[in-house]
Structure 1
């Protein structure tokens, strides 16, 4: 049971209330926003909650078990604080949310109803709907390792140990030609063999996408130029002359780990674990599948 501040409780007991919803949202990049469904700015705790921001709330749903409670916030894309490109960029993904019920005549009378995070965002032509999940969603995250043949470490992290800042695994390039929305010819990568950057990533250092990262699905070479295919289409178009830094990729196999990175000692997979094909094996007379130890 939530305890209300005495002044707010007195206001509620009066029968005629002046209440508004306020959302404080802190994105992963540290930027904080305040929104309210009231028609004027409300301020408290160092945050100005802006009206006419395009946010309206559904009812708050709560349960007594550990299931994830959720609320939906609807908004329009015409707001200069919530843009379509920022949503597509993922800047609002898993942003921390505080939901307040406030007496707009006296914002000192307020109560924090819940904390949560931005979940699924459904986007239309002129509006969006963001799911606000309760903190119980953290209990649904997988914890622990997965037993699989491939490595479960991220290339370059502490468990992997490969230094991606080394000259052998890092390069700089420039877009020479845009072939399609996510396929481009790049200059400056002539010293790297085809496939070196497949499954890697690049970070744009200039152009409309500056500061953003993109995963690389395929790295090919043709007539001295690298052909890079991005895994996803960038939110903003790529242009000739855009600069980037790029880092090597790994397909998570023990052979690649040993040959390309010389890092088999830190391989975090189980390459000898039996696969599904072992279940389908049967005895034959050709010397194999004789039922012996694999």
Structure 2
């Protein structure tokens, strides 16, 4: 805090907010409240005077919590189409304070977290911010028992190699939430996902809820029109049952569930029921 104390003691303060936004698809955006670009750590922060923080709460242990972020829709930065398509859902946000007159001398992190729900009012928007520390404190101390697996297919707990379970396909037809593509395995993709590689939907990931031969049914229609011949990356899914884990993936040793644990219906059972 020495640099901040020295600058506050000076005759003039030239502070500016710097926002670093990183989407889940890797796209990173730098914005600043200053009227000129500021470059720090290889990222250029472009002027966005309309982007302002809400209440910033800082605890005695050094943790900080930012309630929300407000700004104006811009075709060059955060567009309405991208917000509606969910491209910014779950994006990581870092808020820093710097001195635009002497960039680099002060780079104070004020808050960090992930973007939550977006509320739009005319040409402006408000984004709720979930702090990383708050999310960690909300996690259960011990796993909750369940008859189905708590792990996600391919994650650190599951340990299934996803590489042979992925395939790039060419889209032949799209009708509402149904996508048709050839070369699919029988019933392998329900509960999996589809990642668009081409077109306006590129980078978006959608959940597959059902499959009928060459047709996949998504949880919702694609946000933007899909041209015939577009490519997509398919990842197979798992219904999280022990039988599927053992027979299809040969991974019963890593099953994260309790399929044989008696449930609440045990209290209502009686001889001969």
TM-score by length of 1: 0.75
SS for the counterpart of 1:244 is strand
Give the whole-Å Cα distance in 1 for the aligned partners of 2:63 and 2:99: 30
Q: Deviations over 1:142-189 (max 9, x none)?
A: 4553321101222233543434433xx454533222221x22232232
Q: Are residues 261 and 17 of structure 1, via their aligned partners in 2, closer, same or farther at CA, if it must alter by over 3 Å?
A: closer
Change in 2 beyond 3 A, CA 1:65/1:5: closer
Aligned to 1:145, which of 138, 143, 146?
A: 143
Q: Does 1:255 align with 2:243?
A: yes
Coordinate RMSD, CA, aligned: 3.2
Please give the secondary structure, in 2, of the residue aligned with 1:268: coil
Which residue number in structure 1 is paired with residue 178 of structure 2? 183
Q: Distance in 2 between matches of 1:50 and 1:278?
A: 62
Provide the rounded CA distance (Å) in 2 between the counterparts of 1:47 and 1:250.
39
Alignment correspondent of 1:9: 8
Aligned position for 1:292: none
Q: 1: distance between equivalents of 2:251 and 2:222?
A: 32
- 1:153-172 superposed matches below 5 A: 153-166=151-164, 169-172=165-168
Local SS of the residue matching 1:61: strand
- Which 5+ residue runs of structure 2 have no aligned equivalent? none
Question: Whose radius of gyration is greater, 1 or 2?
Answer: 1
| Paired residues for 1:208-287 under 5 Å | 208-221=200-213, 226-279=214-267, 281-283=268-270, 287=271
CA distance in 2, matches of 1:65, 1:109: 24
Deviation at 1:56, TM superposition (A): 1.9
**Conservation of the 8 A alpha-carbon contact between 1:26 and 1:33:** yes
Q: 1:136 aligns with which of 127, 133, 137?
A: 133
Alpha-carbon offset, residue 65 of structure 1: 7.9
- CA distance in 2 between partners of 1:24 and 1:211 (Å): 19
> How far apart are residue 3 of structure 1 and its match?
4.6
Task: Report how far residue 68 of structure 1 moved.
Answer: 7.0
Kept in 2, the 8 Å contact 1:121–1:128? The answer is no
Aligned length in residues: 270
Any stretches of 5+ residues in structure 1 without a counterpart? 290-294
